[in-house]
Chains A and B, each alone.
Chain A
Amino acid sequence: MPPDTHTAVLGRRAALKATGLAGLALGLSACGRGFGGGDDADQGSVTLNMVWWGDAKRAQKTQAALDLFQRKHPGVTVRVEYQDSAPYKDKLATRFAAGDPPDLMAMRVDSLREYADRGSLLDLGAHSGALDLTGLSESARTLATVGDKTFGVPSGLNSIGFVVNRTLTDRYGVQVPNGDTWSWEDLAGFARQVTAKSGRKVYGTGFEPQTMANLLVFSRQRGEDFFTVDGALGVSEGTVTAWFEMVQRMRDEGGFPPAGFFEESGASAAQSYLAKGTLASQIIPTNNFLSYNEAAGGNLALLRIPGEVQGRRRGQSIDTPALWSIASASKHRDEALKLLDFLVNDAEAAKATGTTRGVPANQRIAETVKPTLEPDDQTATEYLIGLQGEQLPRSYTYPPGGSAIAASLETIATEVEFKRRSAAEGARAFVAEARKALTK
């Protein structure tokens, strides 16, 4: 085979080149490492890794606050990573598994105990000298409390609220109920009217019955805690049945969209049914009021959840879209605490971040920055400040197993929606599955 020798020569030459390049690459990366970690430590400069989820707007506002922090603390560099909420969860779990946790991280409320119970998070209460949490209201501080330990700080406060598109109600001549005192019956009546007067072009109301946060409020109004202080399941079959039946009744009357109407796409305000004008009212997280109002044409009213006056007790609670937590394995614990303290207690920082993560957790700061906010953000802020001044039941941290429970609520609610099970059967199955998930 004559060409053989020829290729061998070529191969050898190429191989030599390749080894040369590989050697060079190794040498370069070795240099990189040498210049990195070692020298930094000598100068006392520290690089913090901070991760969170969100969009470009939140990134821009967060960076503005971090720039202020780095100007005040020249020795600290903050390296930020962010992405969408779904991949965030996987990435965070993987980083912990790899032994490379970030120093400061956004933590989902329903994941808090999955991490905290396994000793992965720093007990912030034990560092009260470095991190001042006295500006937070009781309801805000306890959002991340497990037993007598605190594993996070709310990155901002929000709640769920009911928004009504007044452009649509004006067009069809339907009166918006009094948002402070309305009942679930009032909602059903209102929804029925909108649907009828619009000739079924617009549905009066709509929200996802499988969203746990909604059912949580409804359970409290009936005097039950969805999750109890000990992390058990407090919600009864009767309450879950009533919840499914209520939605079903509104659907049968036409005020609520038909089964299968909601698709999980269109999570953003601009893609919402409210913005498209096919729904006249829905439940939203209050920190998104600004973006929903912009998307829906600027004439939204922010009401409370129905049934707050008629129920056995209040159902709404102060919540947070995310918590800030520090990894117990962080090598730069002091700097991370300093940064967290800055984000929570510094007025300039709060002005820079605005309300993309909700109203500042520190009440004094919230009052200070309120006048500087855009009008829609002021509306949401007043709503939250108002709620914090009221006697509300405490919101308990989700126990481990919470994500499995959310999954079975999702499945069962859909089965009830498509009438594969009755409301009572669905409720029985849900309570059984939820108990099982918690004892695992």
Chain B
Amino acid sequence: MTVPTGVAAATAAAPAPPRRSRGRRDRAGYLFLLPWFVGMLFTVIPFFASLYLAFTDYDLLTAPRWIGLENFREMLGDARLRQSLQVTFVYTFVSVPLSLAAALLVAMVLHRGIRGLPVYRAVFYLPSLLGGSVAVVLLWRYIFGAEGIVNDFLGWFGVRGPAWTTDPDHALTTLIILHVWTFGSPMVIFLAGLRQIPVAYYEAAAVDGASRFRQFRSITIPLLSPIIFFNLVQSLIASFQTFTQGFVLSGGTGGPAESTLFYNVYLYLRGFTQFDMGYASAMAWVLLVLIAVLTAINFLAARYWVFYDN
């Protein structure tokens, strides 16, 4: 529905409503929006407070002290910060493509029509509701523990599994597997996207003798590309903000040996355990800029591969 504006609205409505009811209607609208405005205050104030704190030395207990760009300068030489960036980038660039591929694969299988589809949809979607929760990460730690289910299973085949969560070489892999497992929400969106593709295209292609793979490459992928793009942007942003998984798996340390020191886990450690809130605020702003830049690159690149049907 379109919003009637100005003269058009006045002439279109046959029994013209009294003029002042419009003003009243607006007031009612604003009144309903009031909670949102109040809520925004709780976002806007901390937003600007943290921008200010990013330029201060603030230990939570005494008043912040203005130090200009000192926090940002310290970041340049901070080895733990570099480590946290590396962990976050590796995690993102491995797990996001994998989880999107898994989501698309499962969505296509479900799209083919399976009996009990709603059940499968729910089963595959469930993990993404739970994925970031403390309980699931703890469960994950149990499953992948040195004497957990995974290693028991590997033991049947005579394979001695590693200490998945406590070996610095494997802890991040374990979290990537957890992330891929929670492909449910992109999957549901893919499923909706697949429904939009007219069956006639596939029928025509089949008549022309195109193979299943050819159909996938020439029909599904191009027509689904806006959806893929949407999922990609969403997943990237979410992945850069990963906190709970790394925090819970390592007991709040980013360990073993900093192998799960996500950017946000390090930010938390600096702010709350090392009383360095100024530095933590500066880190938060760097993350914001980083995500903005990556998203912008994504949108620029999208021009070359995202295909809009209209």
The interface of chain A, by Cβ under 8 A from chain B, is 1, 4-5, 8, 11-12, 14-15, 18-19, 86, 89-90, 93-94, 96-97, 114-115, 118-120, 259-265, 400, 403-404, 407, 410-412, 414-415, 418, 420
- CB of B9 to closest CB in A, whole Å: 9
Given known A259-B167, A263-B165, A265-B141, contact A411–B61 (CB-CB < 8 A): no
The answer to whether A1 and B166 have CB atoms under 8 Å apart is: no
Q: Given A1-B4, A97-B61, A265-B138: A418 and B257 within 8 A (CB)?
A: yes
Contact B60 A260 (CB under 8 A): no
B residues within 8 A CB of A120?
61
Contact B141 A263 (CB under 8 A): yes
Cβ contact within 8 Å between B1 and A1: yes
Rounded to whole Å, the gap between the CB of B262 and the closest CB of chain A is 15
Contacting A265 at CB < 8 Å: which of B32, B251, B253, B255? Answer: B251
Select A261's contact among B166, B257, B275, beta carbons within 8 Å.
Answer: B166
Q: With an 8 A cutoff between CB atoms, is B222 at the interface?
A: no
**Which residue of B13, B142, B257 is within 8 Å of A1 (Cβ)?**
B13
Among B27, B62, B167, B257, the residue within 8 A (CB) of A119 is B62
Chain A residues with CB below 8 A from B169, complex form: 418
Interface size class of B (residues with CB under 8 A): 35 or more
B250 surroundings in chain A (CB, below 8 A): 264
Smallest beta-carbon distance A182→chain B, Å? 29
B274 interface residue, CB < 8 Å from A? Answer: yes
> How many angstroms from the CA of A89 to the CA of B274 in the assembled complex?
11
| Contact (Cβ within 8 A) B257 A414 | yes
Extra pairs beyond A93-B60, A265-B145, A265-B251 (20, CB < 8 Å): A4-B13, A5-B21, A14-B32, A15-B27, A15-B28, A86-B252, A89-B273, A93-B272, A97-B60, A115-B61, A118-B61, A260-B167, A260-B256, A261-B163, A262-B166, A263-B145, A264-B255, A265-B142, A400-B275, A418-B256
Q: Report Cα–Cα, A120/B165, bound state, in Å.
A: 39
Which residues on B sit within 8 Å (CB–CB) of A265?
Answer: 138, 141-142, 145, 251
Given the complex, which residues of A lie within 8 Å of B167, measured CB to CB?
Answer: 259-260, 418
Q: Check B257–A420 contact: CB distance below 8 A.
A: yes
- Other-chain contact of A407, B24, B138, B166, B269 (Cβ < 8 Å): B269
CA distance A117 to B17 in the complex (A): 69
Q: List 30 A-B contacts (CB under 8 A).
A: A1-B4, A8-B24, A11-B25, A12-B24, A12-B25, A15-B28, A89-B273, A93-B275, A94-B60, A96-B60, A119-B61, A119-B62, A120-B61, A259-B167, A263-B145, A264-B251, A265-B251, A400-B275, A403-B274, A407-B253, A407-B269, A407-B273, A410-B255, A412-B257, A414-B256, A418-B169, A418-B256, A418-B257, A420-B168, A420-B257
Instruction: Give CA–CA (A5, B24) in the complex, Å.
Output: 12
- B284 interface hit (Cβ, 8 Å): no
Min distance, Cβ A266 to any Cβ of chain B, angstroms: 9
In this assembly, does B162 line the interface, its C-beta being within 8 Å of a C-beta of chain A?
A: yes
Nearest to A262 among chain B residues (CB) is B166
A128 to B273, CA, bound (A): 32
Interface digits, B5-41 against A, CB 8 Å rule (1 contact, 0 not)?
0000000110001000100110111011000000000
Closest to B27 in A: A15
Q: Is B59 an interface position by the 8 A CB rule?
A: yes
**Chain A contacts for B252, CB-based, 8 A:** 86
Chain A neighbourhood of B12, CB < 8 A: 1
A260, B31: Cβ atoms closer than 8 Å: no
